Chains A and B, each alone.
Chain A
């Protein structure tokens, strides 16, 4: 019996392998493609080198005052000097540890939820959701345990942006779920009320809602009763956002097959129990990515509180750039703010995409 020994495979022809072949296939496959590639390189040449030159090569990194910015490029000294204001607004500098502690608590508190093996996740999450707002309010606002009071008018910077965004979504979620259930209800009166509410808030821009909450809310309330500016803005944001959350949740409710509703009814569950135990757990799981997306939109929208005079990150930057000591620093300030917003939004959108893939176990056939 003779045994066959195979010759080793030939290497692939050099025309279909290696960087040159790859470039030929992906960048220069036809005259049109070659033209496009050259055009793209020209665009990159137009945009990238000047930006690099301005932001890094010619930039001023060291110093304390405007006079230290001697080179042509960006003056990052401005950002360094005003960093505290951008992050905390007018929060007293000696009390800023309280904000840091609040953020640390949030990170530590949320971290276990990201481990899939953590026991009793639901109970823990619910407890966290109830306890954390109370703790953070005590820490940020003070007034008890000997912590000096910091009025909300002193809050600002990135901290205020985060406060508005998180409170906004936390308040809008339950309201949005109720509205979505109402919109799918069999009772015409409830459906009409919910549809009107949702379509009204979705039809008007957030700016007019903020205007309304700052100008009209005091007129709506009984005499003598008044909220502070931040709370008024928060009420506006929550009402506005709940309409968007409701539409996202409705999408989830519609995606649940009718059989699930019928099965729940066949088990003898009433409306609330069939919703709470059967429908909502599945529907909410489906819409988590959508909710993260509305949160991103809300996060970007928080910049609008500039219109009613709250000092969030963007307004802090705008104000710092108007400081006579730092005139002409608008570009640096806005680029910095854009970078911060971009990091948050991009991070969240990646997370939402990851969730979408991870949770994609549903009713697709």
Chain B
């Protein structure tokens, strides 16, 4: 990933983060709503090589750690997003059936959202955070995953276009 690509990608991540915090978080949707920024980071990771995905996960998770709604220690989301982004990129790059079709892409993103939220709960429990009863956690995870399943196909063309803009620059130059 060249410095030029980083400078193009950085404002995109920041804008998406700002949109999540200032717009998406304004709505209290049933089932816990969705995290557009989380979807964006994961979609970006699937479209990238594992190396770039890990960097995207690091930066995405770093921003999520600074979100006002993040209750865990700073670094928790960063750690999880590195693992998740590297994982989806590694899994997706060798499997055209998953990352090649919109349907497979959507399911891969949703599965990643589901796993990363489960991992967040488990690691948060290790850090001694409390989330209440199991039923409510299960409902929230199910809700966020369902929303991801609905939202991903809608935003996928935009996100993949943004990714293409960033990584086509080099070849154009």
Q: Do A and B come from one complex?
A: no
